Amino acid sequence: MPKVKIDGLEFDAPEKWSVLEVARFLGLEIPTLCYNEGLSAWGGCRLCLVEIGTGDRTKLVTSCTYPAEEGLVVKTSSKRVVNARKMVLELLIAQCPTSRTLQDLAAKMGLKQVRFKPKWEKCIYCGLCVRMCEEQMMAKAIGFTNRGNKLKINTPFNKTSDECRRCGACMYICPVCTVRCEGANPKDVLCGRCENSLQPTCIDINDSYNCWMGLKGECGTCAKEKLTVK
Amino acid sequence: MQTKLVKNRKDSDKIVISISSGTCGQARGSLNLVEAFKKAIKGRENKISIKVTGCHGFCNAEPNVVIFPNEVFYSNLKPEDAAKIVEATLKGEIVNDLLYQENNKRFTHFNDIPFYKAQLRTLLGDNPLIDPVNIDDYLAQGGYKSLVKALKMEPGKIIEEIKRSGLRGRGGAGFPTGLKWEIVRKQKGDIKYIICNGDEGDPGAYMDRSILESNPHLVIEGMIIGAYAMGATEGWLYVRNEYPLAVKNLLVALNQTRKQGLLGNNILNSRFNFDIKMAKGAGAFVCGEETALIASIEDKRGMPKQRPPFPAQQGLFGKPTNINNVETWADVTRIIDKGADWFAGIGTKTSKGTKIFSLVGKIKNSGLVEVPMGITLDKIVFDIGGGAQSGKEVKAIQNGGPSGGCIPKELFNLPVDYESLTSAGAIMGSGGMIVMDENTCMVDTAKYFTNFLQSESCGKCVTCREGTQRMYEILNNITEGNGQEEDLTLLEDLGKVVKEVSLCGLGQTAPNPLLSTLRYFKDEYLAHIKEKKCPAGVCKALIRYTISVETCTGCGLCKKNCPQDAIEGEKKKLHVIEEDKCIKCGICFDVCKSNAVNKITGKEGVLCLK
């Protein structure tokens, strides 16, 4: 069993576990979007980033695809990670501000601004529907077409597919279709309605860990402390 | 078999006219030239013969011929010159008018020309001597000598030799080739694959095409050696379908190699079996990335996969796979032939051997240049390239293809090796080198390359897909005069995240054009944003054309040529441009003989560079 060190916790990971699985097993929170337990890991949304390595030789990788290797040292929420995640989310939310899933993530991660012009698109190309259709429904009725700024998820040749059984699994799993956020404000794109008033500040204070208590930023102690100081 | 190979290496004292006829030569009319030469030598075939070869590398001199054995070089030929050259050559004379000319000096011999003189053509050097569809020509140059040598060596020794030579991947990232091979060799399993990556998608880069169509056996030989060293059973040549000549020549070469018993079962009685298949790329830039290329061969959508597992562990069809670039495979053949010490003797401490660059853009002598690693950019641009066209100042080069970076003239004393280029914000990349002069706007350059990347991103990961689109959007805003100062901070933040976070090499290098121009030419960005000025006079929204009262002669040439009828004026009187009709195409600026049309930029109306 490969030994990994994740946010300071040493752990003997079972074979073939990903870093994300180890983190979740240990109760460490890593935001995900294009990941689903029942589907193969994709690594497209880049939200589950973690920092691996030590010293100067660290790099950011997606935890959903990275295997828990022998001797791996992982930080799940260093400043570098959090900043990168925020930029990723900023890009995503500017593309599709009406997704409740994205708005919730924004509130949770404390995203305060979106500096890009909103596109109001209806798809974020996370590929969940494509994998759902192929891997769970065994239909392979939809897929990616074209690339770059012309990328679409579509049936072959944009025609009604014989392979599609209209099971609706693609809609079920879509982070954009199913739960729409009605509160998105066209002016600043962020809705912010679900934001917890007690936002933890420990992410800003500690470089390596969410909270010195190891409580992954949910205890709210530091937020309360901040309030009393003020 | 070996003796047969050696027997083929015959030297002939017959005069040979070698006609450069790669894709670029053919575009400049070399096929007509071939016909003309065929006619001209009719009846005298016993004394003189012609050889249709691949590219000789000197694009500005196309179509050109080299006459062996004296190596006389004639450039920019027309079909009617053929008869003259044949007659003179048979008499032992030289046609002075057709010789290559530079700075009012004529050069007789191929190797005296400044463009060729400063090069070290270990890979390209044989091109004028080889008809790519004739294996005998390759054998005559010592072809497959390395394979014979390699098959007598222990596979481990070959890898040791490659490691000792210091060869690093020529596809761009510069991973040590020997190490890569060793990893594949150590993998368990009977089936292993090797792949030659010939998906050269960079605009303005064509060194791989040139090798594949001019000297295909050089690459095939390297692949067979590699396969033997790694224990691979099957090889794949992945070539762009946009390179029809390369595809054709490779297919011919593969057939010939099989007929000679150099591919297939029991190669040269060594009990080693290996064959090569070909896959044609469908035109996506991203398929040059290893994992996307593998997906493409597997008939899947060309999308990269997150590593690990690396292709060396789980590659094509889930088996251990080694991928090397065309140039790397060609280098392998030379290393086995001449030895690791010879190769390691060329170049710098960390980057060994030679590298081919395609020197293009606003440069006098454009073409393929093969230089030893560690040569300075100065030497490439000025000694080989002859500086910018028509007396302009060189401003910067863009190195490494669309995802490379711009290096300003002040850093031209930089040695060309993997580390120096990376530290300067560029990459070695595949070796595209685009020269830019003072009439190039750096913001526009960054916009151009970012536009290419935003449409070529596969779209799998957010940072590359959305990031490049947003970078383009902001850059476009700036060139249209709508930029804000805080845009620069956002661009920098975004660029850094895209670089760090993206899934594959495409995304990780996509911000390079932006970040490098922002690093070295921030003043140009600020001029666009603050003063609404484009100093180079490129960004249309920020320039306008006016006609000078003093110098206009009223000739009417501008009026006649204007596609918008935006110029008013009577004959012999001052002409005026109506700004609301003008689309800023610049035709009036180009056609005016008295230099009366001015290009101005900014609110105060500063003159742009001519």
Residue B40 sits in a domain of what CATH number? 3.40.30.10
When divided into structural domains, chain B yields a total of: 5
Whether B463 is covered by a domain: the verdict is yes
Domains and CATH numbers, chain A: 1-77 (3.10.20.740), 82-122+178-195 (no CATH), 128-173 (3.30.70.20), 197-230 (no CATH)
Residues in chain B within 8 Å Cβ distance of A61:
306
Among A62, A69, A148, whose Cβ lies nearest the Cβ of B459? A148
What does the block give as tokens for B185? 């060799």
The answer to whether residue B130 sits within a structural domain is no
Q: Which tens digits make up the pLDDT trace of B18-72?
A: 999 999 999 999 999 999 999 999 988 888 999 999 999 999 898 999 998 889 9
Answer whether residue B125 is part of any domain.
Answer: no
On the question of a cis peptide bond just before residue A97, with omega within 30 degrees of 0, the verdict is: no
Same domain membership, residue B200 and residue B101: no
pLDDT at position A201 over 50: no
The chain B residue lying nearest A48, using CA atoms, is B501
- Statement to judge: residues B409 and B509 lie in one domain: no
Report the distance separating Cα B539 and Cα B452, nearest Å: 18
- List chain A residues with CB under 8 Å of B470: 91, 94, 116
For residues B476 and B570, membership in a common domain is answered with no
Place of tokens 């050259």: B85
Residues B272 and B296 reside in one and the same domain: yes
ipTM: 0.89
Q: Identify all chain A residues contacting B459, using CB atoms and an 8 Å cutoff.
A: 125, 144, 147-148, 151
Task: Nearest chain B residue to A146 by CA: give it.
Answer: B458
What confidence score (pLDDT) does residue A204 get? 52
Cβ contact, residue pair B463, A91, below 8 Å: yes
Those residues of chain B that have pLDDT short of 50 are: none
CATH number at residue B155: 3.40.50.11540
**What per-residue confidence (pLDDT) applies to B110?**
85
Any CB–CB contact under 8 A between A166 and chain B? no
> What is the Cα–Cα distance from B508 to B528, expressed in whole angstroms?
27
> Does position A66 have pLDDT exceeding 70, yes or no?
yes
Query: Phi first, then psi: what are they for B226, rounded to 5°?
Result: -60, -40
Same domain, B170 and B318: yes
What pLDDT is stored for residue A196 in this prediction? 43
Nearest to B570 by CA among B554, B582, B558: B554
Residues B144 and B232 in one domain: yes
B479 and B430 co-located in one domain: no
Q: Residue B559 is part of a domain; what is its CATH number?
A: 3.30.70.20
| Residues B462, A124: C-beta atoms closer than 8 Å | yes
Q: Shortest CA distance to A45 belongs to which of A5, A105, A100?
A: A105
| Per-residue pLDDT reduced to its tens digit, A107-130 | 888 888 899 999 988 899 999 999
Q: How far is the alpha carbon of A211 from chain B, nearest alpha carbon, in Å? A: 24
Cross-chain CB nearest to A43 (options B455, B461, B494): B461
**Chain A residues 40-99 with a CB less than 8 Å from chain B:** 41-46, 49, 59-62, 65-67, 69, 80, 83-84, 87-88, 91-92, 94-95
Cross-chain residue pair B303–A144, CB shorter than 8 Å: yes
- The pLDDT, as a whole number, for residue A185 is 63
B128 within domain boundaries: no
Mutate to test the interface with A, among B314, B458, B460, B477 (most CBs of A within 10 A): B460
Give the nearest chain A residue to B495 (CA atoms).
A87
- Per CB-CB distance under 8 Å, the chain A contacts of B284 are 147
- Domain stop point among B530, B557, B581: B530
**Which structural domain range is residue B455 located in?**
442-530
Report CB contact under 8 Å: A147, B458. yes
Question: What are the DSSP calls for chain A, one per residue?
Answer: --EEEETTEEEEPPTT-BHHHHHHHTT-----SS--TTS-----S-TTEEEESSTT--EEEETTTSB--TTEEEESS-HHHHHHHHHHHHHHHHH-TTBHHHHHHHHHHT-----SPP---S-----HHHHIIIIIS-----EEES-GGG-EEESGGGS--SS-----HHHHH-TTTSSB-S---TTTS---TT--SS---HHHH-SS-S-TTSSTT-S-HHHHHHHHH-
User: In this structure, are B209 and B176 located in the same domain?
Assistant: yes
Give the closest-approach CA distance of B539 to chain A in angstroms. 22
What's the CA gap between B295 and A57, in Å, rounded? 30
Decide if B6 touches A, using CB distance below 8 A. Answer: no
pLDDT score of B602 = 86
Question: Which chain B residues are Cβ-neighbours of A60 within 8 angstroms?
Answer: 500-501
Is B112 a member of any domain?
Answer: yes
The answer to whether the beta carbons of residues B97 and B88 sit under 8 Å apart is: no
Whether B49 and B34 have beta carbons less than 8 Å apart is answered as no
> For residue A227, what pLDDT is reported?
45
Q: Are residues B312 and B172 in the same domain?
A: yes
Whole-number pLDDT of residue A110 = 83
The last residue of a domain, from among B410, B437, B464: B437
Is B281 in the same domain as B147? yes
Please report how many Cα atoms fall inside a 13 Å half-sphere around the Cα of residue A144, on the Cβ side: 22
B367 and B498 in one domain? no
User: CB B470 to CB A83 under 8 A?
Assistant: no
- Position B268 in a domain: yes
Average per-residue pLDDT for chain B: 92
Instruction: Indicate whether A81 pLDDT > 60.
Output: yes
Q: Which of B390, B411, B437 corresponds to the end of one domain?
A: B437
Answer yes or no: is B126 within a domain: no
Q: What is the pLDDT of residue A187?
A: 66
Q: Is residue B201 part of a domain?
A: yes
Instruction: Note whether A91 contacts B462, CB cutoff 8 Å.
Output: yes
Inter-chain CB proximity A87 and B497 less than 8 Å:
yes
How many Cβ pairs closer than 8 A exist between chain A and B? 92
Q: What is the pLDDT of residues A23-48, one digit of tens each?
A: 999 999 899 999 999 999 999 999 99
Determine, for residues B501 and A88 on separate chains, whether the beta-carbon distance falls below 8 Å.
yes
CA-wise closest residue to B547 among B596, B484, B483, B605: B596
Please tell me the distance in Å from A217's CA to the nearest CA on chain B: 24
Same structural domain, B523 and B545: no
- For residue A198, the model assigns a pLDDT of 41
Which CATH number covers residue B413?
3.10.20.600
pLDDT > 60? residue A162:
yes
Predicted confidence at residue B74, as pLDDT, reads 94
